[in-house]
Amino acid sequence: MKIAAFIPARGGSKGIPRKNILPFLGFPLINYSIEYAKTCDFVNDIYVSTDDREIAKISTSSGAHVINRPKNISTDTATTESAIQHFLDTIDIKPEIIILLQATSPLRPAGSLTKAINTFIQGEYDSLLSLTPTHQFFWKVNGDIASPEYDYMNRPRRQDFHPSDIPYDENGSLYIFTRKHFEKTGNRLGGKIGYISFPEKYGYQIDSMDDFTFLESLASNNRNEKIKIFSENDSNFMGK
């Protein structure tokens, strides 16, 4: 069964210019997703889809194959699904399973990719995503009216949340899906959907410079807690 990791990384970014290759703890941001994919023996190939020469050069030197993405699907309005479809149309030997890793999620638990793939295969899922539990109390807003998504008359203490009542956030870190499912639906999600849960400290992604600064500080301050970015055996792990 051929399994491929796919990392979309266009050159343009309105929120943070050159975001995907900004130094994060001394390494280009995209390297963290490439290295994460390399920690899993199930992954046969790693592909980076980009329209940017510098991203392509960094990705190649890190051991990934580069898919040269056309400009018309590299805009702010282009979907990730369009990049996935271009990737499948471009390569000759197509994978049965695709792992989508977003470059904006540099912090992931060690061993989580292997666990996710095992969960995906054993559960015979069509798609799977990473979720993060949150102990927030959510509300919906409609015009000038706010309505709760919980029973505020019986407000639970956060530490007393029942597992079935805990809301989960789609953290955007990883998605797994079969090529058959994607070709049928044109979407990374759908069918029988499984999940893998990441602890809250791994549930952040970078969309703004504030996010970037916060995550870099979080990673730096948790060196002693062994937040896994690269594999434990990588001499570059957290500057070790």
Q: Provide the 3-class DSSP secondary structure of residue 84.
A: helix
Per the residue annotation, which of 10, 69, 108, 155 is the catalytic one? Answer: 155
The helix (run of H) or strand (run of E) holding residue 23 is strand 23-24
Partners of 28 in the β-ladder: 23
With a CB cutoff of 8 Å and minimum separation 6, the contacts of 20 are 9, 10, 11, 13, 28, 29, 30, 50, 52, 55, 103, 104
Q: Are 81 and 189 in contact (CB under 8 A)?
A: no
Q: Are 48 and 7 in contact (CB under 8 A)?
A: yes
Report how far residue 142's alpha carbon sits from residue 193's, in angstroms, rounded to the nearest whole number.
30
158 in active site: no
Q: Is 14 exposed, middle or buried (0-12, 13-18, 19+ CB in 10 A)?
A: exposed
User: Beta strand 127-133 with 193-197: parallel, antiparallel or unpaired?
Assistant: parallel
Q: Where are the beta strands (DSSP E) in 106-235?
A: 127-133, 139-142, 145-148, 168-178, 193-197
With a CB cutoff of 8 Å and minimum separation 6, the contacts of 87 are 6, 47, 49, 67
List active site positions. 155
